[in-house]
Amino acid sequence: MLAVVMMWVLPASAQPEIQSQWNGARVAFIGDSITDPAQIGWVNNTFWNNLKDILGIEPYVYGINGHNMADLIGQAKRLENERGQEIDAIIVFLGTNDYNQGLPLGDWYNHDTKVTNSDGVERELAHWELVYCDSTFRGRVNTSLKYLKTHYPDKQIILLTPIHRGYAKFGQTNVQPPEEYANRAGFYIDEFVSAVKEAGSIWAMPVIDLNSICGLLPTMQEHIPYFRNPKTDHLHPNTPGHLRMAYSLAFQLLGYPARFPKFVALSFDDGPNREFTPKMLDILEENGVKGSFFVIGRNVTRKTAPILRRMVAMGCDVMNHTYSHPDLTKLSEEEILREVERTDSVILKWAGVTPTMLRPPYTAFNDKVAASVPDKAFIAGTSVGDWRKDMPAEDKVNAFLEKARDGSVLLFHDTNETTIEAVRVLIPALKARGFEFVTVPELFQIRGWMPSSNEKRMYSNVY
């Protein structure tokens, strides 16, 4: 037995790192005393710190001794205040204190009947609604996981089941029996473990059954060396116990994505501008990002031609934003077509490409516009009014960050200094949130389709 203990006392850093999708992933840990960084004063290492060595993750730890499922939202708010959306995954390790507090399990749902349309007929059908409350474990889980799914819809969220519980005595009035005993409400810890597994199905979250896979069983004398104190604490794993948990978790995590891909397209209107467009191209080039430029035909001249050729050389798109920037809905079909064709002509002359997409000025669009331009896809985008020169760069950044989603086409204007400064800040900020940058056509290609030139619709995003 001594040889086994000595093997697990070796620091995780002595083990070879596993190269995987988790390398560099920013992972938040929400939990109780086993996750709490304060326990480093009691043990030499922790499972999340071991995972840093084994998988190369960046751990951000919010676990607090004594916390239960009702405290999840408070920890998540701390995460949000400190990291915003700059996180890839969240691992939740809670439930054992809910059991210890004598909490009943409760129900996931309230059941009734409601009338709804089913196959064109109004029918009264059996119906359920999730229970949200603090007085039962399942009610707490529903409340907490709804918060995570609402605030982190594009993040990987993984639940861990509580591990087995042994005897513990932390004082005369804090004595915790081993798991053979039910809590004061009559429920056993394995029922809480099962509830966490059920929560994964209800809330569409992966569950890692740490209760079984880590192999720690403190109700057996032979497993006491994996826990903090052989006489008084068979609840909290010690250094060998944490390392065993970490390796068990690491190989489970290899089966899950560390992050989900998110794509956003940057598009720019009203150029080329001899003062501002080169600055915008500089920023894109410095960050290794391509964009889609919807240019105004009258701005495409011999003097601005080098700017367009630079766009093409960088892999950016040159698209059509009409010749004189009119409201197309107020023109005749012949006038609309002339606006588009004149712009196509000067772009082909000076940049050597023919636009496949049109952004109508003011995103003014109707069936007449669609019928007048049969060979273009119509693109709008997510705008925050950045064309306003008096709008501070910081406000522009915050507005775009608030609106950016996977599949968004962000609409900028390369015509003023504050937008230039905003994009300079925004690109790293979006990268930190996990976004990858593509052009507008590439955004459609990633989704597996391209808009038809004869579609009578205009796209603001590609979801």
- 355 and 388 in contact (C-beta within 8 Å)? no
Q: In terms of domains, do 269 and 245 share one?
A: no
Question: Angle, to 10 degrees, between the axis of helix 393-403 and the axis of helix 417-432?
Answer: 40
pTM of structure:
0.88
Q: What is the C-alpha to C-alpha distance for residues 152 and 60, in angstroms, rounded to an integer?
A: 15
Q: In terms of domains, do 361 and 323 share one?
A: yes
Q: What is the C-alpha to C-alpha distance for residues 157 and 91, in angstroms, rounded to an integer?
A: 6
- Is 196 inside any structural domain? yes
- 316 and 353 in contact (C-beta within 8 Å)? no
For residue 77, the enclosing domain spans 2-105+134-253
Q: In terms of domains, do 248 and 271 share one?
A: no
Q: What domain count does the chain have? A: 2
Closest-CA residue to 210 (of 336, 51, 344, 383)? 51
Mind listing the pLDDT tens digit for each residue in 49-107?
999 999 999 999 999 999 999 999 999 999 999 999 999 999 999 999 999 999 999 99
Assign residue 336 the CATH number of its domain. Answer: 3.20.20.370
Query: For this structure, is 413 an active site residue?
Result: yes
Q: Classify residue 168 by its DSSP letter.
A: E
Q: Classify residue 37 by its DSSP letter.
A: G
Closest-CA residue to 56 (of 110, 20, 100, 86)? 20
- Is 222 inside any structural domain? yes
Mind listing the pLDDT tens digit for each residue in 164-198?
999 999 999 999 999 999 999 999 999 999 999 99
Query: For this structure, is 107 an active site residue?
Result: no
Q: Which helix (H) or strand (E) holds 294?
A: strand 292-295
- Is 129 inside any structural domain? no
Task: Spot the catalytic one: 36, 98, 233, 269.
Answer: 269
Q: In terms of domains, do 315 and 447 share one?
A: yes
Q: How many CA atoms lie within 13 A of 275 on its CB side?
A: 7
Say what the pLDDT of residue 44 is: 67
Mind listing the pLDDT tens digit for each residue in 322-360?
999 999 999 999 999 999 999 999 999 999 999 999 999
Question: How does residue 144 score in pLDDT terms, banded at 50, 70 and 90?
Answer: very high
Assign residue 212 the CATH number of its domain. Answer: 3.40.50.1110
Neighbour tally for 400: CB within 10 Å: 25
Mind listing the pLDDT tens digit for each residue in 283-336?
999 999 999 999 999 999 999 999 999 999 999 999 999 999 999 999 999 999
Mind listing the pLDDT tens digit for each residue in 234-292?
999 999 999 999 999 999 999 999 999 999 999 999 999 999 999 999 999 999 999 99
Task: Spot the catalytic one: 88, 242, 413, 414.
Answer: 413
First vs last Cα of the chain: how many Å apart?
A: 56
- 67 and 75 in contact (C-beta within 8 Å)? yes
